[in-house]
Amino acid sequence: MQKSVKYLMALAAVAVIAGCDTLASGEAPGVPESANPERGINVAELLSGELAESAGPPLNVNSYMWRAALDTIDFLPIASSDPFGGVITTDWGTPSGSAAERFRATVFIQSAELSAGALNVSVFRQVNGGQGWVDAPVSASTVRQLEDAVLLRARELRREAAAAADN
């Protein structure tokens, strides 16, 4: 019994030592050459578009609407933003002149089209009644005004880009 345990231990040690020889020293497993920080950026790849192709997935949201949403809700602190998923979440913020209420918003951009159907805004409101912050209703017109402001700004950005392209 003791002889077979020693035999298994020796066999395991040989397997471990043999497995250590597959990588050269300093080489990391599974890291592609393009991810090597010492390699840098090749100008030929940059000009040919190879670098852009390997940069990641394309945005599935309208870029004008994305920038417009960030511009429109800039009075609230951004908690997180996901340009690939089209979600912008803010933290609680107090607009100037109203210390007794605070707002939080979430913007969903659900398409690459510049349309009202691709935009969904949720607004949350709390009021400070002396006992701390309490949830309060948000009027539908407030949400609609915010959505309209995002769409208007997105159209402005698109017009500016078209005018710049014409020049």
Q: Where are the domains of the chain?
A: 2-53, 63-166
What global pTM score does this model have?
0.63
List pLDDT tens digits, range 52-70.
555 555 558 899 999 999 9
List pLDDT tens digits, range 1-15.
666 656 656 666 655
Residues 101/93, Cβ–Cβ less than 8 Å: no
Q: What angle do CA 125, 126, 129 make, to 5 degrees?
A: 150
Topology annotation, domain 63-166: Alpha-D-Glucose-1,6-Bisphosphate; Chain A, domain 4 (3.30.530)
pLDDT surpasses 80 at 151: yes
